[in-house]
């Protein structure tokens, strides 16, 4: 059974609503939400009828599209999934869709080697490998880094579209340090990936500084097309992020000359996979190498250095030397204290 574009938008919107366990959804709520999404995505002002949403729910419950969605009604009023982990996006793709995707990947492969597509090689490999595994689940010819448990990946497309459309957003967000979630209005400017984790770079209403928001900490995202969008007027993001490792920096941060010693065993690794594009080799001898990178001093840089343990030593700047030394001392202290039985598992 084929699905047209508008129907697919409705199904995915209903699915996103029912997956949101932080809110109770009546039929009227679903109608309103679907109407808003259709207006934002397609400019449809007529909304959607009650009968259409009821028919969509019945179709999603059936096996006609392969969904078999476990949609239930609580208290004779609120719609939700009986299985909290269910989503229509988890179902296997059809043979027809699989064939279409293979055709698309085949076209993309023809552009490999063109300068504009140099950075797409790994993406094409991921697509081709996933398509192969869909029909040959017992075997894979390429293993790519990824975290299938990472939350928020489904937000990449709507956030990217909001950036393209220059649409103001209301985001309900709960940081790791916060006791409860908070909602705020912001202007989205950039999606950025670092170590398989995605971040939205945005400015909150009434603020001038940039905020880095992890997608896996977002609870809800709502478009506010009627609210004025304020353009970003700062330095180009390519330049803004070329001076750091990771995503953490403020607009006041400036790069430092970071001098690092790497021992002989790890020198080849650092030389073949530079820590940063600014990396230059200052000295090489029998003990190891000394390199320089020009980067902002941030948490991600510290974590990169600490990941090398005793194999890397910071020579400059002094403030980074002090910071790393203190962190290593605190880490070493963890092993000088007797571990309580309840933490050691009684070993």
Query: In 3D, which of 235, 254, 248, 237 has the Cα closest to residue 294?
Result: 254
Query: In 3D, which of 299, 147, 153 has the Cα closest to residue 218?
Result: 153
| C-alpha span between 187 and 171 (Å, rounded) | 10
Banded pLDDT at 255 (limits 50, 70, 90): very high
What is the structure's pLDDT at 303?
95
At 343, list the tokens: 């933490």
**Neighbour order of strands in the sheet with 312-316:** 280-284, 288-295, 256-263, 312-316
DSSP string, 166-193: T-EEEEEE--TT-SS-EEEEEEEEEEEE
Q: Is 268 helix (H, G, I), strand (E, B) or coil?
A: helix
Eight-state DSSP code of residue 25 = B
Which residue is associated with the tokens 């997956």?
19
pLDDT digits (tens, 9 = 90+) for 76-126: 999 999 998 899 887 666 666 667 777 777 777 676 666 566 666 766 777
Is the pLDDT assigned to residue 30 strictly greater than 50? yes
Which residue is associated with the tokens 């990396």?
279
- 316: enclosing H helix or E strand: strand 312-316
pTM summary value: 0.65
Query: In 3D, which of 295, 301, 307, 311 has the Cα closest to residue 331?
Result: 307
Phi and psi angles of residue 116, each rounded to the nearest 5 degrees, phi first = -70, -20
Mean pLDDT of 274-282: 96
- 131: enclosing H helix or E strand: helix 121-135
Asked whether the beta carbons of 217 and 152 are under 8 A apart, the reply is yes
Banded pLDDT at 161 (limits 50, 70, 90): confident
What is the structure's pLDDT at 44?
85
Q: Is 224 helix (H, G, I), strand (E, B) or coil?
A: strand
pLDDT digits (tens, 9 = 90+) for 34-71: 998 888 778 788 889 999 999 999 999 998 877 889 99
* % of the chain exceeding 70 in pLDDT: 84
């Amino acid at each position: 059974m084929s699905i047209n574009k508008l129907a697919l938008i409705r199904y995915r919107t209903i699915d996103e609503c029912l997956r949101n366990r932080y809110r109770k959804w009546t039929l009227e709520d679903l109608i309103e939400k679907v109407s808003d999404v259709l207006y934002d995505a397609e400019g449809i002002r007529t909304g959607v009828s009650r009968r259409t949403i009821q028919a969509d729910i019945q179709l999603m419950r059936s096996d006609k599209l392969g969904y078999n969605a476990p949609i239930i009604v609580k208290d004779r009023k609120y719609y939700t999934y009986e299985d909290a982990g269910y989503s229509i996006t988890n179902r296997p793709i059809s043979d027809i869709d699989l064939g279409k995707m293979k055709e698309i990947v085949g076209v993309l492969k023809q552009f490999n080697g063109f300068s504009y597509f140099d950075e797409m090689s790994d993406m094409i490999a991921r697509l081709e490998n996933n398509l192969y595994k869909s029909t040959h689940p017992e075997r894979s010819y390429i293993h790519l880094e990824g975290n299938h448990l990472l939350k928020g990946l489904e937000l990449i497309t709507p956030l990217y579209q909001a950036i393209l459309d220059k649409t103001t957003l209301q985001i309900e967000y709960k940081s790791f340090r916060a006791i409860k979630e908070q909602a705020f209005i912001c202007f989205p400017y950039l999606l950025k990936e670092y170590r398989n984790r995605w971040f939205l770079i945005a400015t909150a209403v009434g603020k001038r500084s940039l905020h880095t928001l992890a997608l896996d900490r977002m609870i809800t995202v709502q478009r506010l097309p009627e609210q004025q969008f304020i353009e970003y007027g700062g330095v180009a993001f390519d330049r803004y992020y070329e001076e750091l490792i990771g995503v953490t920096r403020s607009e006041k941060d400036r790069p430092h000359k970071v001098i690092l010693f790497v021992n002989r065993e790890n020198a080849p690794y650092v030389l073949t996979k530079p820590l940063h594009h600014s990396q230059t080799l200052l000295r090489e001898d029998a003990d190891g190498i000394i390199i320089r990178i020009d980067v902002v001093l941030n948490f991600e840089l510290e974590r990169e250095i600490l990941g090398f343990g005793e194999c890397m030593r910071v020579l400059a700047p002094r403030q980074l030397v002090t910071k790393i030394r203190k962190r290593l001392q605190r880490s070493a202290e963890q092993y000088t204290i007797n571990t309580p039985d309840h933490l050691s598992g009684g070993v």
